[in-house]
Structure 1
Amino acid sequence: MVTVGTIAGLAVLGVAGPALAHVEVSADKTTAGAENVTLTFTGEAENDKAGIASERVVLPAGIDPATVTLVKAPAGWAYQVGADGFTVGGKELPVGQDAVWKVKVAKLPDGQTRLSFKTLETYGDGSVVRWIEIQQPGQDEPDNPAPLVTLKPGPSAAPVSSPAASPSATTPAAAPSTTGAAVPVAQNADDNGGNTWWISVVVVLLIAAAAGYALFRRARARADS
């Protein structure tokens, strides 16, 4: 019974051990399109004969290697930019020691919520472990999954304008200027006065003519009588 239990325990450990050795990544900002994001990578050591010597990361589409800078790496390791990503490496780490490094990304891609960072982990004995299999939503994790960052959707690139932005909604209709209104009224008054003065003269003349005609009729009537 003891022998069977021991064998069973070793079998479980044998299955669980390799599954725990991954390269993992996390982000300090987890929204699509975020700027100045620090990514922290951890390469878990799995080789019991050699230490990790370098980590090569292939960046996902939408991240330009030129916009990525090193923040932190193991002592003595150097950072080198490549055509599709970057490499950190140098002196072989002690056997069993994980490799931890950080980089800063100027801007995460817009409209993407799953970013996979394929990583090639090289040991001091020349062996390479390829963590490059893309993890698919809703499916079991592959044997050698690529490090994955899951993001929240970013804000809409084209926000809808608020009704408050409409001038008619924010600015009350300007009250008519009393000064402006007085100008045309005064002008009209001047124009009317200039154009109708002769009418007054004609009226006066007509009244005078009527009065004279009336006097003439009276005088003639007296003479006839």
Structure 2
Amino acid sequence: MRNGFRLATVSVLAGMGVLALAGTAAAHVEVSADKKQAGASDVTLTFAGEAESTTAGIKSERVVLPEGIAPEAVTLVKAPAGWTFTRTDDGFTVGGKALKVGTDAEWKVKVAKLPDGETRLSFKTLETYGDGKISRWIEIQEEGEEEPENPAPLITLQPGPKPSATTSAAASAPASAPASAATDSPAPVVQNQLTSEDSGGSSTWWIWVLIAALVVAGGTVFLARRRRG
């Protein structure tokens, strides 16, 4: 009887230990998006930080943004009562008075635009408790591999729309020549024609002078002969 009781007690304690470890491992910070496409605009991200401490409440959440999202492109939508939103060099922080022990932290932010061509976005998060303890959810979850011990919040997206054929053709077509270039090009030819005509006319002026002189001389001789006769 005693041996059976001891075995049962050990089994119960072992089971409780397994459950405790599973509960600790299950605590995460998670994120979801209301739009599931890469490159989407005005996307609301909802974060949920699970409380894992039995002695202190969550005091703040510091989020590091993935490449392609600037802190200036993020605005606060909702946070726990009394918490404030502060931008950092690489992301933002929401925090304030520590929540009650065991209370999960939930907050929402709006992103102006998600990066184009990125279908996996990780948001490294540092979760700080009122007693100073920090849970670091910063390990990147690689596609096709097992989840790490302290995974960073991750959203998976659908690829964005591909550019249409007409758009691609328009982008690759060479630029047409400026209208001014087409209209200006004949000008030198016209100018050359005008110049050659002017120069040709000015080179024959002496012929007309000679003819006039001969006419005048002939008239003079004719009049002189009539007077003599």
In structure 2, give the amino acid aligned to 1:45.
A
How far did residue 8 of structure 1 move? 3.0
Find the residue that maps to 1:6 and give its secondary structure.
helix
In structure 2, give the amino acid aligned to 1:77.
W
Match of 2:123 among 117, 125, 128: 117
The answer for the alignment partner of 2:45 in structure 1 is 39
How far did residue 2 of structure 1 move? 1.8
Match of 1:11 among 14, 17, 26: 17
Find the residue that maps to 2:18 and give its secondary structure.
helix
Find the residue that maps to 1:7 and give its secondary structure.
helix
How far did residue 4 of structure 1 move? 3.4
Percent of paired sites with the same residue: 69
Match of 2:90 among 77, 84, 91: 84
How far did residue 18 of structure 1 move? 0.8
The answer for the alignment partner of 1:160 in structure 2 is 165
Match of 2:80 among 74, 85, 103: 74
Unpaired runs of 5+ in structure 2? 1-6, 171-229
How far did residue 10 of structure 1 move? 1.2
1:1-225 to 2 correspondences below 5 Å: 1-156=7-162, 158-161=163-166
How far did residue 119 of structure 1 move? 0.2
CA distance in 2, matches of 1:68, 1:130: 22
Find the residue that maps to 2:127 and give its secondary structure.
strand
In structure 1, give the amino acid aligned to 2:150.
N
Give TM-score, length-normalised by structure 2. Answer: 0.69
How far did residue 11 of structure 1 move? 2.7
Query: Which deviations, in whole Å up to 9, do the C-alpha atoms of 1:84-127 show, x marking residues without a partner?
Result: 10000001100000000000000000000000000000000111
The answer for the alignment partner of 1:200 in structure 2 is none
CA distance in 2, matches of 1:117, 1:16: 23
Q: CA RMSD in A?
A: 1.4
CA distance in 1, matches of 2:133, 2:52: 11
In structure 2, give the amino acid aligned to 1:83.
D
CA distance in 2, matches of 1:5, 1:82: 49
Query: Which deviations, in whole Å up to 9, do the C-alpha atoms of 1:155-195 show, x marking residues without a partner?
Result: 01x31129xx9xxxxxxxxxxxxxxxxxxxxxxxxxxxxxx
Find the residue that maps to 2:166 and give its secondary structure.
coil
CA distance in 2, matches of 1:43, 1:55: 8
How far did residue 19 of structure 1 move? 1.3
4+ residue stretches of structure 1 with deviation over 2 A?
A: none
The answer for the alignment partner of 1:205 in structure 2 is none
Find the residue that maps to 1:63 and give its secondary structure.
coil
Unpaired runs of 5+ in structure 1? 166-225
Number of residue-to-residue matches in the alignment: 162
How far did residue 7 of structure 1 move? 2.5
Give TM-score, length-normalised by structure 1. Answer: 0.70
How far did residue 9 of structure 1 move? 1.4
